[in-house]
Structure 1
Amino acid sequence: MAIMSNVDISSQITSELSRCDINSEKSSKNKSIEGKWGLPLSEVYKLALNFYKEKEGKAVQLSYEDKLQLVAFAQQVSHGPLATSKVPPVGALDVVGRDRRLAWQRLSDLSPDQSRIGFVSLLSRRCPHFEAYIEAHRRENEEKQRKAQEQALRDLERRKQREEEEKIEREIRAKQEMEEVARRKVQQALNEQTYDQFRTYAEQQYPGDPERQGDLIKQLQDQHYLQYMQQLHATALSNNIIQQSTDTTGDEELPSEEQNTEDNYFEGIAQASMWTRDDIQLFKEIVSKSEGDGVVRVGHGEIVTVRVPTTVVGTQLFWEFATDHYDIGFGVYFEWGTPTTDQVLVHVSESEEDDEDDDDYGDGEYLDTLQHTDLETGAQVLRRVNNTPMLSEIVPIYRRDSHLEVYVGSHTYPGEGCYLLKFDNSYSLWRSKTLYYRICYSN
């Protein structure tokens, strides 16, 4: 190792300070460093210091003078100007320590930023690999920043999405709460209207058993509400279809006076309530043991019509029925006019057309007055035929799984007349059905 005199070291440091232009304006030099490396001066200095500590003596070979200058710059950054009064004296044989202290002392009042600039400038000139080291670090920082920005954008999108989902959930909950309030109001109103009739029916089914009566009333009220909502939906759908038909057909002929008279019969008719029960075997046993024609055999191809006149002692009609083994078609109609008898009559008629197999349906007439279509779609056309009384459809004729459940229903009188309960087996060519039914009045 070559030993340099104090004069040589001083001149070397002075030359380095002049070459690095350290005494120029700090702000402009900072901008020069930051513009070249794309990083703040403090970060460039930290990278240069780490690079020097890691690579010195390995990938980097520096002269003794360069090492003294770098150490002096590092000491100036860390501790400021050398205060000889605060440091112990250097030993007589410590040549390296004396040279380092002299190099540090020659920096005088050089500021920390100027010392950083001197360190970076000297190292970059002496070590060509330092520039690649800084560039790799800069790209790594840029990649981290890019990923951080992307993550921030994703977090922002997720936050917006969560806020939107929470907003939608709040709206849905608010809508559900409003619907629940409306549902409770409707159900309460329906329960108040039907409580007396359901209580009468429950007392007939379970006399002397208030607990079972209450359960049955609750079941009937729930089923009545569901059917009411289904009827509202069907009515709204029907009105929509009618409105669309009116919009597309344009102007048509006004209805005749006779049609207006007939249509008055259909105004103000309440919807029927229909529900089912599971106690089918118990129901059959009760009907079989009771008096009257509660058990009827409906032959293949036959239609049984039970005519039930309105009475002054009641305002509503209740019915319930079940069958053995197979289903049966069922519907309810109202024949307008003053009843000629107060007796319940059972009429049996045969269908006018035969079908090719047991499960097909055919068109026919009921009592020469009721025109109907396929049992799967229900009766659709109700008009006066040969000056017979007007009929209103209360419950359309559909096939009912009455061999699995007891079908129960009720209807409020629309006026004076006679109910026609239709049990239709006309679609069956070979199977006869055993029908169990019961009818009662209620106020």
Structure 2
Amino acid sequence: MISADNVEQSLRQLALESSCNGNGFDSEDSKILKWNLPLRELYKMACSFYKEKSGKAIHLSYEDNLKLVAFTQQAAHGPLDVAKTPQLGMFDVIGKDRRIAWQHLGTITKLQAMEGFIDLLDRLCPLFKPYVEAIKKDREEKIRQAQLEEARRREQQEKEKETLAELKRMEDERNREEMQRRQLQDALNQQTYHQFKDYAEKQFPGNPEQQAVLIRQLQNEHYHQYMQQLQAQVSSNYSQMRASGESESELNGSGFEYPAGQHQDQTISAKENSQLEYKEQCDSDEESGEYAVISPANMWTKSDIKLFKQEVTSGKGDGVIRVCHGDTITVRVPTHEGGSCLFWEFATDNYDIGFGVYFEWGKPSTTEVSVHISESDEDEDTLEDDDVVCAEDLECGVQQQKQYNSSSSSSVNRNPISIIVPIYRRECQTEVYAGSHSYPGEGTYLLKFDNSYSLWRSKTLYYKVFYTR
């Protein structure tokens, strides 16, 4: 058994130190001890450490344990009240020692008892401070991670807002462009409706449904060719401005936005619009001018595509061709001395294909129909300098543009070529596309089936060509 006087002296000294260290602050909120932690929180850490490590990582003397237990009793219940405490047994020596140690703490407050327990444990056990610092560091790391996570979450929200705003802006832009396109197409349709209606009545007399289909097809062709001419005009003006040293900003302000009222300022009549759409100036020598203007072709569609494919496959037509991706098929059809008009019909399986008709002037060297397969860039020397064919590739989402140039050395001696029907995509997988054209003179028709815009898909082509007197 330890000396009661020694315990009493030690506890009074610790109580005095705790009272002095407390500096008179009994408020729980204002008690901040070492390691910058609140008193009650640090006390809980100290009690947990003492219970977990006592007898394992730390080995204290009986006297030191009495002192620590006395501080915990004082912190939990306040000063000892002998009248309210139960009596101890005669042989409960440890209980009597603990109660004596608790009684010797006197009237120090609960907060001072907590502080005394922490100070004593810190002096007796060097591992307590690293234990507290580790918990504090882990807590700070969790707080830092939470702050980083919150910052990332806010950043993600900002990015999502920006993405939604950009998508909305793009959607508004697409809607605006679509509205402008419809306004422009409606204006063009109003200009050419009566002319196309008269033409459709001559082609399908007494058949309003076929007339409506043909009018719609002619209006679509009119719009696409008008946009091609418009694009070529803008490109030409842009090149001229760059050559003359004018800035691009001046080009943007020069009036190429085509409002609806602009068409009223143009002096081109509906008939002249049709001529711009379907007629191309023949390639001729500038001095002689021996070639005439080519008349427009007639184009229409037929719905019996299944029967047409069966006829061609069974040998009642010209044939079936596999048009590989990236290739262009050119069917060369010479004019026949006994004919006056060329007819053509074609369709495909599953996907559309580009189609156009050209005329090569000059006496044909043969009367046989021939088929030529080439890649898109091999045909660049077959058209005039200013002939541009555009195709919007719906399969890969890219708008391609092929510029044909006949100024190279390999095309110096070629016969002049005129455009009858410009190349653009036809929905020939749903219906048969047909057309005819009156001979403008001696030469060779070039029926071009263009699959150069497709990066992956090959097309199966069914076609027929024939002439009439």
The TM-score bracket by the shorter chain reads 0.5 to 0.7
Equivalent of 2:277 in 272, 286, 307? 272
TM-aligned CA deviation for residue 14 of structure 1: 0.6
For residues 193 and 300 of structure 1, do their structure 2 counterparts lie closer, same or farther at Cα, with a shift above 3 Å needed? Answer: closer
**Taking structure 2 as the reference length, what is the TM-score of the superposition?**
0.55
Within a 5 Å distance, the mapping from 1:242-391 to structure 2 comes to 242-247=240-245, 268=268, 270=273, 271-272=276-277, 279=302, 299=334, 322=344, 329-330=357-358, 349-350=362-363
Equivalent of 1:16 in 10, 14, 17? 14
Q: Verify the 8 A CA contact 1:350 1:426 in the aligned structure 2.
A: no
Tell me which moved more, 78-87 or 66-75.
78-87
Deviations 1:184-224 (A, max 9, x none): 33333333334444444555555555455545544554454
Equivalent of 2:184 in 183, 186, 192? 186
TM-aligned CA deviation for residue 128 of structure 1: 1.5
1:343 alignment partner in structure 2: none
Q: Which amino acid aligns with 2:237?
A: N
Equivalent of 1:71 in 60, 69, 72? 69
For residues 211 and 85 of structure 1, do their structure 2 counterparts lie closer, same or farther at Cα, with a shift above 3 Å needed? Answer: farther
Deviations 1:202-261 (A, max 9, x none): 55555555455545544554454444444433332222122222338xxxxxxxxxxxxx
For residues 4 and 200 of structure 1, do their structure 2 counterparts lie closer, same or farther at Cα, with a shift above 3 Å needed? Answer: farther
TM-aligned CA deviation for residue 91 of structure 1: 4.0
Q: Which amino acid aligns with 2:363?
A: E
Q: Verify the 8 A CA contact 1:301 1:351 in the aligned structure 2.
A: no
Bigger-Rg structure (1/2): 1
Within a 5 Å distance, the mapping from 1:398-437 to structure 2 comes to 406=433, 425=444
TM-aligned CA deviation for residue 114 of structure 1: 2.5
Q: Structure 1: which 5+ residue stretches go unaligned?
A: 249-265, 286-296, 307-319, 333-347, 365-370, 382-392, 411-418, 439-443
Equivalent of 1:114 in 108, 112, 118? 112
Q: Percent identity?
A: 34
Q: Verify the 8 A CA contact 1:73 1:118 in the aligned structure 2.
A: yes
TM-aligned CA deviation for residue 163 of structure 1: 2.2
Q: What is the alpha-carbon distance in structure 1 between the residues aligned to residue 44 and residue 156 of structure 2?
A: 37
Q: What is the alpha-carbon distance in structure 1 between the residues aligned to residue 213 and residue 346 of structure 2?
A: 27
TM-aligned CA deviation for residue 82 of structure 1: 4.4
Q: What is the alpha-carbon distance in structure 1 between the residues aligned to residue 27 and residue 124 of structure 2?
A: 19
Deviations 1:407-442 (A, max 9, x none): 7699xxxxxxxx9968852889xxxx956599xxxx
TM-aligned CA deviation for residue 125 of structure 1: 0.9
Q: Verify the 8 A CA contact 2:2 2:63 in the aligned structure 1.
A: no
Within a 5 Å distance, the mapping from 1:98-113 to structure 2 comes to 98-113=96-111
TM-aligned CA deviation for residue 71 of structure 1: 2.4
Q: Verify the 8 A CA contact 1:330 1:400 in the aligned structure 2.
A: no
Provide the secondary structure at the position in 2 that maps to 1:330: strand
TM-aligned CA deviation for residue 374 of structure 1: 9.4
For residues 231 and 362 of structure 1, do their structure 2 counterparts lie closer, same or farther at Cα, with a shift above 3 Å needed? Answer: closer
Tell me which moved more, 61-70 or 13-22.
13-22
TM-aligned CA deviation for residue 8 of structure 1: 4.3
TM-aligned CA deviation for residue 16 of structure 1: 1.7
TM-aligned CA deviation for residue 127 of structure 1: 0.9
Q: Which amino acid aligns with 2:161?
A: E
Aligned residues: 343
Q: Verify the 8 A CA contact 1:77 1:113 in the aligned structure 2.
A: yes
1:50 alignment partner in structure 2: 48
Deviations 1:262-319 (A, max 9, x none): xxxx98453416996554999x99xxxxxxxxxxx963799x999xxxxxxxxxxxxx
Tell me the C-alpha RMSD between the 2 structures: 5.4
Matched, 1:158 2:144: no
Q: What is the alpha-carbon distance in structure 2 between the residues aligned to residue 118 and residue 9 of structure 1?
A: 15
Q: What is the alpha-carbon distance in structure 1 between the residues aligned to residue 219 and residue 445 of structure 2?
A: 33
TM-aligned CA deviation for residue 62 of structure 1: 1.5
Q: Structure 2: which 5+ residue stretches go unaligned?
A: 247-265, 279-296, 312-331, 348-354, 373-377, 389-402, 408-416, 448-463
TM-aligned CA deviation for residue 157 of structure 1: 2.4
Equivalent of 2:144 in 143, 146, 151? 146
Q: Verify the 8 A CA contact 2:68 2:120 in the aligned structure 1.
A: yes
Q: Which amino acid aligns with 1:96?
A: I
Q: Verify the 8 A CA contact 2:358 2:446 in the aligned structure 1.
A: no
For residues 396 and 224 of structure 1, do their structure 2 counterparts lie closer, same or farther at Cα, with a shift above 3 Å needed? Answer: closer
Tell me which moved more, 146-155 or 20-29.
20-29
Provide the secondary structure at the position in 2 that maps to 1:10: helix
TM-aligned CA deviation for residue 171 of structure 1: 1.6
2:321 alignment partner in structure 1: none
